[in-house]
Amino acid sequence: SQQGEEDPQALSIQEGENATMNCSYKTSINNLQWYRQNSGRGLVHLILIRSNEREKHSGRLRVTLDTSKKSSSLLITASRAADTASYFCATGPGGGSYIPTFGRGTSLIVHP
Amino acid sequence: DGGITQSPKYLFRKEGQNVTLSCEQNLNHDAMYWYRQDPGQGLRLIYYSQIVNDFQKGDIAEGYSVSREKKESFPLTVTSAQKNPTAFYLCASIQGNNGYTFGSGTRLTVV
């Protein structure tokens, strides 16, 4: 199965700062997705970037994808305390059945 | 509104008991998945089903069983053979090559 691994494992910042987290994967992909999980809740889909895209924006979120380095980054600008959550990436394979796997996530704490 | 409903939210299991976690979706999605999440860990795939009446084992299927008799329903049974079932269980569905939709999870505790 595919594997996305997030880095860093934990990130602590002040409100208003930007938060950047990274995801690396091992094989070719069709797309890469980022999810958010608040404590004790399900995952919420944030953004999907396809393999032929290099950058995508959604509100305060900016995602980049570098297929040559097999990596992606998620930037949250002007962070808020409400952004405190775990963030996961998942990769969609290049072909065949769609069984993405999730890494351990990046735990983001935004201090007010 | 379309979505995935997991029930119950909290479940307590005695030693040696089988319990069933419910997952229902009204999104008309073909594929459904069960994941297990332990504290501070990522999601591990238990079972998945890409079509009605068919399902496949994931990475940690031992001690679990599923059925997919209807498109909208994918219940997970945690059997007594699962020696460490205390965890957070997440159900998800997907259509095509898009993002998952997740349920809100069931927290299972062995008492």
Q: What is the mean pLDDT of chain A?
A: 89
What is the average pLDDT value for chain B, to the nearest integer? 92
Judged against a pLDDT cut of 90, whether residue A15 lies above it is answered with yes
**DSSP characters over chain B:** ---EEEE-SEEEE-TT--EEEEEEE-S--SEEEEEEE-TT--EEEEEEEEETTEEEE-TT-TTEEE--SBTTB--EEE-TT-S---EEEEEEEE-SSS--EE---EEEEE-
pLDDT, residue A96, reads: 52
Please give the residue that has the higher pLDDT: either A26 or A74.
A74
Six-digit token pair at A6? 């997030």
Q: Among B26, B48, B36, B29, which Cα is nearest to B78's?
A: B36
Residue B40: predicted pLDDT: 77
Residue in B2, B6, B3 with CA at minimum distance from that of residue B88 = B6
- Paired residues of A62 in beta bridges: A57, A75
For B32, other C-beta atoms within 10 Å of its C-beta total: 29
- Rounded CA-CA distance B57/B50 in Å is 12
- According to the model, what pLDDT value does residue B45 have? 93
pLDDT digits over A36-70, tens only?
999 889 999 999 999 999 999 999 999 999 999 99
- What would the mean pLDDT of B36-63 be, rounded to a whole number? 92
Q: In this complex, is the C-beta atom of B35 within 8 Å of any C-beta atom belonging to chain A?
A: yes
pLDDT at A2: 47
Is B19 within 8 Å of B110 (Cβ atoms)? no
> Is the pLDDT higher at B11 or at B41?
B11
A32: nearest Cα among A59, A55, A10: A55
| pLDDT tens sequence across A79-94 | 999 999 999 998 876 5
Calculate how close chain A gets to B74, using CA atoms only, in Å: 17
A-chain CB neighbours of B98 within 8 Å are 48
pLDDT confidence bin for A3, thresholds 50/70/90 = low
Considering only CB atoms, A104 lies closest to which of B6, B42, B50, namely B42
B97–A92 CB contact, under 8 Å: yes
Give the distance from residue B91's alpha carbon to the nearest chain A alpha carbon, in angstroms. 9
* 3-state SS class at A83: helix
pLDDT of residue A1: 45
Q: Which residues pair with A30 in a beta bridge?
A: none
How many A-B residue pairs are in contact by the CB < 8 A criterion? 57
A42 → closest Cβ in B31, B97, B102: B102
- Give residue-wise pLDDT tens across range B61-103: 999 999 999 999 999 999 998 889 999 999 999 887 778 899 9
Interface contact A102-B97, CB threshold 8 A: no
Contacts of B105 in chain A (CB under 8 A): 40-42
Backbone angles phi, psi at B108, to 5 degrees: -105, 130
How much is the pLDDT for A95? 52
Closest by Cα among B64, B11, B70, B13 to B34: B64
In the beta sheet, which residues pair with residue B65? B77
B17 part of contact set with chain A, CB < 8 Å? no
Q: Are B42 and A88 in contact (CB < 8 Å)?
A: yes
State the CB neighbour count (10 A cutoff) for residue A65. 21
